[in-house]
Structures are given as C-alpha cells and as structure tokens.
Structure 1
Amino acid sequence: MRQQMVLGTFIFGLSRGFAYDTLDRGSTGGWVSLDIIAGKPKSSQVGQGLETLTLGGKAVRAKGMQRLDELRALQDLRAPLPLVDGLGRNWGLWTIKSVNEKQAGVIDDGTAMAIGWSLVLEEFVNA
C-alpha cells in the first residue's frame, strides 16, 4: 500500500481516501533585529526556531469527515507523534498545532460533499 506520509498511526495517501496535495515547510534561522536609537538595527542570533509543516488537501463525503475526526483524536492526545514519509525517511517528532476544514455542498443529513482541509504541524524538540 502506497502512502505519502504517516503521522503517528494516521496514514496520508490515496489508498485511504485522504491524500494531501500541498505541503508547505517553514524554518527560521534564529536571527532577530535589535533596534538602535542612533543607527541601523543590530542583528543577533537567538537560536534556530522550530520547523513547521502545513499539509493541505481535499476530501469528500463521510470518509473525509471521518479522517478529519481521526486527526482531531490524535490532536486530543496532546503528545508528540512520529512523522515518516512514503520513502521511509523519519522526520522525527511533531505536534499537531491545528486541524482546519471547510465543508461545502452539505446535504440534508449533514454530510459534506467536498471538504478543504489543512493540518499544521510543529517540530518537537526537547533535548
């Protein structure tokens, strides 16, 4: 079974009907500017910040709604989770910062025909 990524026990991929189509990765270098009254700001190194990953995609119907509930259940654990990509690369531990969804085409029983979703993860480092 092919998969894009696994977060804890959650599998992203077409085989589960829940694949992401965007991945945004952010990192900072740890530089800040300190204002100086009589000159240009001074650059100072305060240490590298934590990386963030934002995954986004589209899901459909009750299956998509169920997968988002599964992600929220992982978020409710309030624990760092291992992240491994489809090539077997271990990305380390990550926390779920937010799970967002936008439902469209909601029918009379409350099922969304289309769901746009995003998941924001933050690197977990406690060493």
Structure 2
Amino acid sequence: MEPPLEATVPLPRRSLMDAAAARFGWRRAYGTTTQVDALLTEQSEAAYTDAADHAALATAKNTDALAVQPGVLDARGRILADVLYLEGVLTGARTRGLPSEVIERLEDVVDHGHELTVLLADAVRATATAHASSGN
C-alpha cells in the first residue's frame, strides 16, 4: 500500500498546505501511529534545526535579565492560548465520550500546560526582580 500524500510531502510544504487548509477551517488528521510518529519526528527535527540559531541569537540579545523578559512573556502568552484551546478540546472529548485514554492524556497535557504557564510567569517575575535588585 502506498503511503498517503501527507506522509510523502516534506514538512515545509505540508505546513503550507496545512496553513492553507486552516484558512478554510480544515485540520488534517492522521489515522495511524506510523503517520503520527513520522509527523512528530519531522516537527522535532525542524525545531531542533532552528534551535542552534535561536541559541546564538538569544546569546547576542539577552545581555541582562530584563532583556530576557519579552521573549519569555511571548512564549507564556502563546502557551497559555494553546492550553486554553486544549481545554476546549478536552471538554469536547468528554462531552462526546471519547476513549478514556484520550481524555486522560488531554487532562495531563492541560495540567502540565498550566504548570508551564505558572513557571514562565515566575521566570518573568524573576527578570523584574533581578533588574530591580541590580539597581537599574
């Protein structure tokens, strides 16, 4: 059996296809763990490829504690929005009676997402505290 188109299209092109589909309110679903694992691997590879560039840029830009703050605030905002979206997904999963394993995994994700937003808020506060204590 030939793999579906999604599994053979490179991630950047697939991302463009997904973005175009999203404009119409469509989302792609993957029916096998093989397809999901391939997509997860591609996402990870793309993220880690960019990580070295991010580290170099952050090292150059983040000269003091206060310089770190905007990036951490941005990340927290995006993560919080995603967690709240996932809370809606969880509510829908419960309402529709989806399998308990799906619901349990979504509960874990939502709980950990909220914990991450708390940790990020603490990191933002720490930047302000460090800045204030440095006498600036």
TM bin, normalised by shorter chain, reads: under 0.3
- The alignment's TM-score, normalised by the length of structure 2, stands at 0.24
- The alignment's TM-score, normalised by the length of structure 1, stands at 0.25
Decide which structure has greater strand share: 1
